[in-house]
Homo-oligomer: A and B are copies of this chain.
Amino acid sequence: MKGEGFSFQLLKEGGQGGRLGRMTTPHGSCATPAFMPVGSQGSVKALAPTDLQEVGTEILLCNAYHLYLRPGTDVIREVGGLHRFMAWEGPILTDSGGFQIVSMSALRKVEPEGVQFRSHLDGSLHFLTPEKVVQIQEELDADIMMTLDDCPPYPASPDEVKAAVALTTQWAKKSQEARSGAGGALFGIVQGGVYPELREQSAHELMEIGFDGYAIGGLSLGEEKEVTFEMAEHVTALLPTDSPRYLMGMGTPEDILNGVKKGVDLFDCVLPTRCARTGVLFTSLGQLNIKHARYSTDTAPPDPACGCYTCRNFSRAYLRHLFLSRELLAYRLNAMHNLFYYHSLMRDIRQALSEDSMGHIERTLFSRRGDKGDNSRNEGGETVC
């Protein structure tokens, strides 16, 4: 079964240099590679839909696990679906919650039929099956649904990961069969940990079932970055070129650039909005920690090269003051800036893909930090917040 109104058009394939595409859903289309801001509970933290439009968001990620627990699927269905609920008219991808059940809930008990867990909110007991998870996402009216997967923690032995791959395949089959026909597109999630053969097996089994798109799950859980991208590359090389690939939960600007080069089309990460809430801003000169005393009378915007609402109107001195004073506006202005940065990065990447200049983009995007000796802002050069 295919998602009605869903399609993916591969506009250009650059081999090692990434892919340019357009993904169409019942609620509009988006250019790929795309970054999806995270609105787990039906709200991208601190931002209204008009803010998302302003910063250039084309597609959002929400989380079926969170929304199922609160406010409950029935509430959202009653109000007319998730788009109407949160007043976002564009595409929405909902994550199934496989990862959240591992990372947030207590008593995670995986059984062949599904997974038993206690809500992180009130300790109530729940049992979610792959069929139920599809039903939840159809009730939410998600444009893109994710299958329930079995995502083992890291590190895990080959046997543990093998069992998780097997269960993920079984559940993927059941998910596909559970679709009503009226719901959104459905993506399978490739598991396999850090074991290339298991990744291969998982990808092949999912492709045999056939999905509208394929996600790469179970990465960025603690393994070395090099391994992450080896796995991503190993998987994308196997996947059909005419379906979108989604690298789940990543990442830093560097991660995204690397993912694109490995053939990934979709990304999501809490980093830009989470960093916003800790006062860390992404700029063309590296990360800027707005709490730092050096900004106390700094009249410059966070990034003089940036055209976002925040940079057009406010100084580092004001943003620092808002943050230190715990003013709620701080989180919004920081989040708008960081998401604008991420979406600009994606635009730059797409531009580079269309001009075959991916070889240069890394230098263009990241070199200025070093040039200006501004690495002090970026402790260790790694994105941290």
Residues of A within 8 A of B (CB): 41-43, 45-50, 70-71, 74-75, 78-80, 85-87, 296-297, 299, 309, 313-315, 317-318, 320-322, 324-325, 327-329, 331-333
Asked if B79 and A297 sit within 8 Å, CB to CB, the answer is yes
Asked if B46 and A329 sit within 8 Å, CB to CB, the answer is yes
10 A-B pairs closest in CB distance? A46-B328, A87-B313, A71-B321, A78-B297, A43-B327, A41-B325, A43-B329, A79-B317, A79-B299, A75-B297
* 23 A–B contacts from the bound complex (CB under 8 Å): A41-B322, A41-B325, A41-B327, A42-B318, A42-B322, A42-B325, A43-B325, A45-B327, A46-B328, A46-B329, A47-B329, A49-B313, A70-B325, A71-B296, A71-B324, A75-B296, A78-B297, A79-B297, A79-B299, A79-B315, A85-B318, A328-B328, A328-B331
* Chain B residue at smallest Cβ distance from A312: B87
Of A49, A318, A322, the most chain B CB neighbours within 10 A belong to A318
A80 CA to B328 CA, complexed, in Å: 23
| Shortest distance from the beta carbon of A98 to any chain B beta carbon, whole Å | 21
A91 CA to B47 CA, complexed, in Å: 27
A43 CA to B46 CA, complexed, in Å: 15
Task: Evaluate whether A332 and B327 lie within 8 angstroms (CB atoms) in the complex, with A75-B297, A318-B85 already known.
Answer: no
